[in-house]
Structure 1
Amino acid sequence: MLKKLLLALCIGGLSLSACAAENDAAPVAGPAVTPAAQQMVRQAIKSLAANVEVDSIEPAPMPGFYQVIAAGQMLYVSTDGKYAMHGDVLDLQSKRNLGDDAWARFRKAELAKVPASERIVFAPPNPKYTISVFTDVNCGFCRALHEHVAAFNKEGIAVEYLAWPREGVVTTAGRPTPTYTEMVSVWCAKDRKAAFTAAKEGRAPAPATCTNPVKDQFNLGVKLGVNGTPAIYGPDGRVLGGYVTPEQLLQALKQGG
């Protein structure tokens, strides 16, 4: 896949936490993204991995490159299409990862496309904050996080769950994975919230099928760079962590403004 190719061919970067960073737009230093530039970038990515979709192309925060999101990865492609770098670009003065802002904008826009009717929502009457959480019903940390859902709501935080079976959607043999099948049953239950909480407590839902968003939400998670659960995103698209306590989550949300 693209990540393996890039790790083999390109430069890896450092990683800094973005939880407390402001989501101001990074200074635009790269060239404008013309239709010709878009075609060039897509061709460059295709030369690395033919089946990878490019989701976002923006001017990079440094001259001579475009900032690209593809297959859940961020990379930088030179304006002549000859070079690609995979990793983080750091502003050494502010100690900020300049890719965080682009990721946040992208995630916020993509998450906004998922209607509330396709999420499993636990919310107080008038929430101060709304978070999106990619979750797996059999994940230990996901179960521990859900134990705090009443406390989150008490703090004015609405929790909107999206499905992300860690086993994936199908096995290598092409059959649905057990967790995917269980999560479909949860999303197809008559009372989804009750079935969801029961599954988090280790009580499997009654088998059920229907038109459901589980596969689409899994694919969305991959697109947004999810590689484990729980994966929590704030209303501005920032990553807020995995398992967190109510106090930690509220503090992270307040820091985001």
Structure 2
Amino acid sequence: MGFNRIFAAVALSLVSSLSLAADADEAIRKTLQSLQPDLPIEAIAESPMPGLYQVQLKGGRMLYASADGQFVMQGYLFQFKDGQAVNLTEQAESVAVAKTINAIPVSEMVVFAGKQPKTHITVFTDTDCGYCQKLHSEVPELNRLGVEVRYLAFPRQGLESQAAKELANVWCAKDSQEAMNRAKTQQSVADVECDNPVAKQFALGQMIGVSGTPAIVLANGKVIPGYQPAAQLAKIALESN
């Protein structure tokens, strides 16, 4: 077979593959949007598993679907290789979450940096959450161990709750660190109004799958649900950096 014929065969194969991918994209989108019209689809692509497509949602979460869109599933996709099981879903979601979280301006967070941070964690927090208060009491120890703590607001009872108002007061305070310290020790925080990011951060938390507080996001995007003691959390955070 001459070079021109080989080139034509390759080109035809590529066009065919692109056409199949486009058809799959359209079919999968049609199915998902019929289930939820406002589903925030970021991208659709072939997964490492032949015949299965991965649907990346805005914020990081992943769905899987058949090429014709008739089958959709949510769960973990593992690859077994050389006796090891690799969670491909968790890897992909962590990359997307890290990109999303690390793009948030630090000015929109309440940050406890410490003197020489080696890594950071981002914590979706509430004011009336007992384990959030416990974690906050260990922030100085986390800072001492080299972990910067960045807070995002997540009023788990909703934006009309008292906690949402308290979080807004914290973010609007002239000294947001001091206001956070007061809120986490069940002291009152002065009512202040400003253009705050509480609603936006709450929506972001829901988008990446946060359902309770504290929800801790490591620098690499891995989400740890729930409280972890300072020493253990610092070890995990530093090892994942």
TM-score, with normalisation over the residues of structure 2?
0.84
Q: Which moved more, 1:58-67 or 1:88-97?
A: 88-97
Cα drift, residue 255 of structure 1:
3.3
Are the aligned partners of 1:71 and 1:222 in contact in 2 as well (CA < 8 Å)? no
For structure 2, which runs of at least 5 residues remain unmatched after alignment?
1-16
Other structure's SS at 2:239 match: helix
For residue 124 of structure 1, the aligned residue among 105, 114, 120 is 114
Corresponding residue for 1:110? Answer: 100
Corresponding residue for 2:42? Answer: 55
1:255 counterpart letter in structure 2 = E
Q: Distance in 1 between matches of 2:224 and 2:38?
A: 31
Cα drift, residue 36 of structure 1:
5.3
Residues 33-57 of structure 1, C-alpha deviation per residue, up to 9 Å, x if partnerless? 9565444332221122223222343
Cα drift, residue 126 of structure 1:
2.4
- Answering whether residue 61 of structure 2 is matched by residue 77 of structure 1, we say no
Are the aligned partners of 1:165 and 1:179 in contact in 2 as well (CA < 8 Å)? yes
For structure 1, which runs of at least 5 residues remain unmatched after alignment?
1-30, 170-175
Other structure's SS at 1:95 match: strand
2:234 counterpart letter in structure 1 = L
Corresponding residue for 2:7? Answer: none
Q: Which moved more, 1:178-187 or 1:47-56?
A: 47-56
More helix by share: 2
- Answering whether residue 144 of structure 2 is matched by residue 160 of structure 1, we say no
Are the aligned partners of 2:119 and 2:238 in contact in 1 as well (CA < 8 Å)? no
Number of matched pairs: 221
The 5-angstrom pairing of residues 175-186 of structure 1 reads 176-186=160-170
For residue 234 of structure 1, the aligned residue among 213, 218, 221 is 218
TM-score, with normalisation over the residues of structure 1?
0.79
Other structure's SS at 1:68 match: strand
Other structure's SS at 2:84 match: coil
Are the aligned partners of 1:240 and 1:252 in contact in 2 as well (CA < 8 Å)? no
Other structure's SS at 2:114 match: coil
Other structure's SS at 1:220 match: helix
For residue 45 of structure 1, the aligned residue among 10, 21, 32 is 32
- Closer, same or farther: CA 113–35 of 1 in aligned 2, 3 Å: farther
2:44 counterpart letter in structure 1 = I
Corresponding residue for 1:16? Answer: none
- Closer, same or farther: CA 212–34 of 1 in aligned 2, 3 Å: farther
Are the aligned partners of 1:240 and 1:249 in contact in 2 as well (CA < 8 Å)? no
Cα drift, residue 223 of structure 1:
1.0
Other structure's SS at 2:122 match: strand
Corresponding residue for 2:54? Answer: 67
Cα drift, residue 123 of structure 1:
0.6
